[in-house]
Amino acid sequence: MQALTNRVKHVDRKPMSFIERLYLPAIFKGMFITFMHIFKKKPTINYPEKKRPFSPVFRGLHILNRDAEGRENCTACGLCAVACPAEAITMEAAERKAGEENLYREEKYAAKYEINMLRCIFCGLCEEACPKDAIYLSETFAPSDYQRKQFIYTKDELLIPHPIEQPEAYKKALGNRAKTNTTN
């Protein structure tokens, strides 16, 4: 019968010869191949000692951003909560009092801001939805824990360190998002 394409692979259906029916030569060949695998390089990464490098756009843990003077960017507008497909973000807004100008950028701020890491799917839609560049996903991923309660991250766990009081920690937390000039 004529083949339809030229990619036909012809199957060899000859009955097995005596040497093949012994199976032993084939077994030895297989065992030799397996033995050679002992000397191949292992692709395993010894995790806590070495970590796999992530790409620059890796979506990991959330960080609440501050501007260059250390004031929190987040105004509790709720766009991230609405954008979140898993409904992981909850917040409560509060009004900025007279002496707190250096803490918050605008008159409304988030008094309580919680992200439930067990619900979060790390899609990054909150980062895209935020109008104030207040939340972004960094390069670390959520560490393990024993209880469900401890996976609800509150504002102080999510907030980036103060750029003026803790500059090294701030720079480390910014990671590869350090921008030369901030625009808002």
Partner 1 sequence: MLLAIHIDWPLIIEKLALILVVVMGSLGIAMYTTFAERKVAAILQDRRGPNRAGPFGLLQPLADGLKLFFKEEIIPNFSSKFLFILGPSLAMLTAIMTSAVIPWGSSVHFFSRDIPLQIANVDVGILYVFGVVSLGVYGIMVGSWASNNKFSLMGGLRAASQIISYELAMGLSLIALIMVTGNLSIKGMVETQVQNPHWYAWNVFKQPLGFLIFLICAFAECNRTPFDLPEAENELIGGYHTEYSSMKLGFYLFAEYINMFISSVIMASLFFGGYDLPFFNEAAHADWGNWLALIGIAALMAKVVFFLFLFMWVRWTIPRFRYDQLMNLGWKILIPLALVNMVVTGGLILYFNR
Residue ranges in contact with partner 1 by CB under 8 A: 27, 30-31, 33-35, 37-38, 40, 42-44, 46
170 and 162 Cβ atoms separated by less than 8 Å: yes
Tell how far CA 122 is from the center of its chain.
6
> Do residues 113 and 154 touch, judged by C-beta distance below 8 A?
yes
CB of 148 to partner 1, least distance (A): 24
Annotate 83-136 with DSSP letters as a single string. Answer: H-TT--EEEEEEE--TT-TTTBSSSEEEEEEEEETTT-----HHHHH-TTS-EE
Listed residue (55, 60, 163, 184) closest to 115, CA to CA: 60
Residues sharing a CB contact under 8 Å with residue 28, sequence separation 6 or more, in sequence order: none
Closer to partner 1 by Cβ: residue 15 or 43: 43
Smallest CA-to-CA distance from 63 within 183, 181, 172, 184 is with: 172
Please say which residue, 3 or 38, places its beta carbon nearer to partner 1.
38
Choose between 31 and 111: whose C-beta lies nearer to partner 1. 31
Q: CB 34 → partner 1: shortest distance, Å? A: 5
Do the strands 62-64 and 108-116 form a parallel or antiparallel pair, or are they unpaired? unpaired
Least gap, CB of 97 to partner 1 (angstroms): 52
Residue 4 or 33: the one with the smaller Cβ distance to partner 1 is 33
Closer residue to partner 1, CB minimum distance, 47 or 146: 47
Least distance between partner 1 and beta carbon 39 (Å): 9
Q: How far is the CB of 28 from partner 1 (least distance, A)?
A: 10
